[in-house]
Amino acid sequence: MERTIELSREHAQQEDRKDKLNKYRDEFYLQPGITYLDGNSLGLMSKRAEKNVEELMDSWKRYGIRGWTQGKYPWFFLPEKLGEMCAPLVGASKEEVIVSGSTTSNIHQVVSTFYKPVGKRTKILADELTFPSDIYALQSQILLQDLDPAEHLIRVKSQDGRVIEEDDIIAAMTDEVALIFLPTVLYRSGQLLDIQRLTAEAHARGILIGFDACHSIGAVPHSFSEWDVDFAVWCNYKYLNGGPGSVAGLYVHKKHFGTRPGLAGWYSSKKDKQFDMSHTLDVECSAGAFQIGTSHVLSLAPIIGSLEMFAEASIENIREKSLHITRYMMDLINQELAGLGFTIGNPKEDERRSGHICLEHKEAIRICKALIDNGIIPDNRPPNIIRLAPVAFYTSYVEVWDTIQTLKKIIEEKQYEQYSKERNVVS
């Protein structure tokens, strides 16, 4: 639908007054004079997270080793408890989700479990626009099978450097493919793939399929179990606001329960058998089997309060605001930045767009530096992408309005010219 009204700051204020999630802004540590639009890389700290860390620290202080089974959040069962709280965000049963490991260690876990090259089925199918860490892990797993990644890792090409067409992915699902691993959302352009369709097409060809949901978890609702997705992994520090280096998440469909994990560890065993200290692994019949080592209790703590907020607000309401505020940002870009060298690089359709805007400009690196000095925190992906994430929980419409006006000012006043073209170490 075409925009029919002139967007003004007063209109943004009206949108904020109508926003039913606006009350959650007070739950986060928003810094005076700073507009934070980098929640798709690292979410802001919530007051509940701070409280939860203090509670877990206190349980260590108070109970010592007894904290594994005592206190408000017994440590031994916390990964399962958080898995249960996270399950509605991905559309799974509580048994199919566990909070454990890191994104990359979980990729190694699921791929080592489900990648079984046999006969002519020896290849892993991925895409050329996926996050480098995923490719490194897939290459490593292929090498561990004494195979050559150059031959056995297929990366579907993008037609425009921004998105991957589902038809191209499906065309690459040949009888040589043993496993498919794709992102739910492309981290640069923000394209949301059709997970349900790709899963059905993979299974019709006898191929297992899994997803990296780092850039969709907490912004987009999923139905992994209903769609029959075999496995998925994600981080909890972006839209889920679990803190830097937060413990990650993992989903495995219940049909795979009882499968021995490729990377077995003490926590892979049934919890009631774990302290039997047997050298024979009795595999846990849930996603918990795919844990490797002892839970990082203090790093689990911030996720508790975050998932409580998601339960209160609902992922459906979060998605509704996310789509509306990103649409609003695109309309503002079209209204205010026309002729200034900007291009919207993310899909425009709601069903293909995730939680961030991909704004392209040849001076992206220098513009991002100027934005930061103007009190706006963006995300830069070289060479030409400015990622802007208006997060449903804590970004206001007025902040989006002011950001676009600042971008306009940076270009018109040539503020960016005072900065170097070299990217920062962390961009």
CA angle (296, 255, 263) in 5-degree steps: 40
What's the whole-number mean pLDDT along residues 112-136?
Answer: 97
Is 239 one of the annotated binding-site residues? Answer: no
Is 244 one of the annotated binding-site residues? Answer: no
Q: Could you tell me what percentage of the chain is helix, strand and coil, using 3-state DSSP and rounding each to the nearest 5? A: 45, 15, 40
- pLDDT for 57 beyond 60: yes
Strand stretches in 235-330, DSSP E: 249-252
- pLDDT for 254 beyond 70: yes
Query: Within this chain, do residues 180 and 233 fall inside the same structural domain, yes or no?
Result: yes
Per-residue confidence (pLDDT) for residue 209, from 0 to 100: 98
* CA dist 407 → 40, 71, 188, 367 (Å): 19, 50, 20, 8
Share of the chain above pLDDT 90, in %: 94
Is 294 one of the annotated binding-site residues? Answer: yes
Whether 38 is covered by a domain: the verdict is no
- pLDDT for 2 beyond 50: no
Share of the chain above pLDDT 70, in %: 98
- When pLDDT is cut at 50, 70 and 90, the band that residue 392 belongs to is very high
Number of domains composing the chain: 2
Is 133 one of the annotated binding-site residues? Answer: yes
Q: What is the extent of the structural domain holding 246?
A: 51-312
Token readout for 135 is 């490719």
Token readout for 39 is 């929640």
Peptide bond preceding 390 in cis form (omega within 30 of 0)? no
Whether 263 is covered by a domain: the verdict is yes
HSE, CB side, 13 Å, CA atoms: give it for residue 46. Answer: 27
What's the whole-number mean pLDDT along residues 267-284?
Answer: 90
- pLDDT for 426 beyond 80: no
Whether 423 is covered by a domain: the verdict is no
Last residue of a domain, one of 266, 297, 312: 312
Task: Classify each residue of 291-306 as buried b or exposed e, where b means 16 or more C-beta atoms within 10 Å of its C-beta.
Answer: bbeebbbebbbbbbbb
Whether 187 is covered by a domain: the verdict is yes
Query: Within this chain, do residues 108 and 241 fall inside the same structural domain, yes or no?
Result: yes
Query: Within this chain, do residues 76 and 125 fall inside the same structural domain, yes or no?
Result: yes
Whether 241 is covered by a domain: the verdict is yes
Is 269 one of the annotated binding-site residues? Answer: no
Is 103 one of the annotated binding-site residues? Answer: yes
Q: Convert the pLDDT of each residue in 139-196 to its tens digit.
A: 999 999 999 999 999 999 999 999 999 999 999 999 999 999 999 999 999 999 999 9
Is 134 one of the annotated binding-site residues? Answer: yes
Closest among 321, 325, 322 to 403, alpha carbons compared: 325
Query: Within this chain, do residues 356 and 372 fall inside the same structural domain, yes or no?
Result: yes
Is 215 one of the annotated binding-site residues? Answer: yes
Alpha-helical regions (H) of 118-204 = 132-144, 149-152, 166-171, 195-204
Calculate the average pLDDT of the chain: 96
Q: Convert the pLDDT of each residue in 126-144 to its tens digit.
A: 999 999 999 999 999 999 9
Is 343 one of the annotated binding-site residues? Answer: no
Query: Within this chain, do residues 255 and 305 fall inside the same structural domain, yes or no?
Result: yes
Whether 104 is covered by a domain: the verdict is yes
Query: Within this chain, do residues 25 and 173 fall inside the same structural domain, yes or no?
Result: no
Query: Within this chain, do residues 81 and 214 fall inside the same structural domain, yes or no?
Result: yes
Whether 13 is covered by a domain: the verdict is yes
- When pLDDT is cut at 50, 70 and 90, the band that residue 120 belongs to is very high
Domain CATH code at residue 323: 3.90.1150.10
CB 396 within 8 A of CB 16: yes
Q: Convert the pLDDT of each residue in 319-329 to its tens digit.
A: 999 999 999 99
What's the whole-number mean pLDDT along residues 333-357?
Answer: 97
Is 132 one of the annotated binding-site residues? Answer: yes
Query: Within this chain, do residues 325 and 285 fall inside the same structural domain, yes or no?
Result: no
- When pLDDT is cut at 50, 70 and 90, the band that residue 422 belongs to is confident
Query: Within this chain, do residues 146 and 291 fall inside the same structural domain, yes or no?
Result: yes
- When pLDDT is cut at 50, 70 and 90, the band that residue 6 belongs to is confident
Query: Within this chain, do residues 273 and 389 fall inside the same structural domain, yes or no?
Result: no
Per-residue confidence (pLDDT) for residue 1, from 0 to 100: 38
Query: Within this chain, do residues 343 and 268 fall inside the same structural domain, yes or no?
Result: no
Q: Please enumerate in sequence order all residues whose Cβ is within 8 A of that of 128, keeping only pairs 6 or more positions apart, or say none.
A: 155, 156, 157, 158, 164
Q: pTM for the whole thing?
A: 0.95
Last residue of a domain, one of 312, 333, 355: 312
Per-residue confidence (pLDDT) for residue 424, from 0 to 100: 78
Whether 334 is covered by a domain: the verdict is yes
Domain CATH code at residue 269: 3.40.640.10
Last residue of a domain, one of 259, 278, 312: 312
* CA dist 190 → 238, 323, 324, 365 (Å): 14, 12, 15, 19
- pLDDT for 427 beyond 80: no
Per-residue confidence (pLDDT) for residue 206, from 0 to 100: 98
Is 131 one of the annotated binding-site residues? Answer: yes
Q: Convert the pLDDT of each residue in 194-251 to its tens digit.
A: 999 999 999 999 999 999 999 999 999 999 999 999 999 999 999 999 999 999 999 9
Residue at 268: amino acid letter: S
Query: Within this chain, do residues 327 and 242 fall inside the same structural domain, yes or no?
Result: no
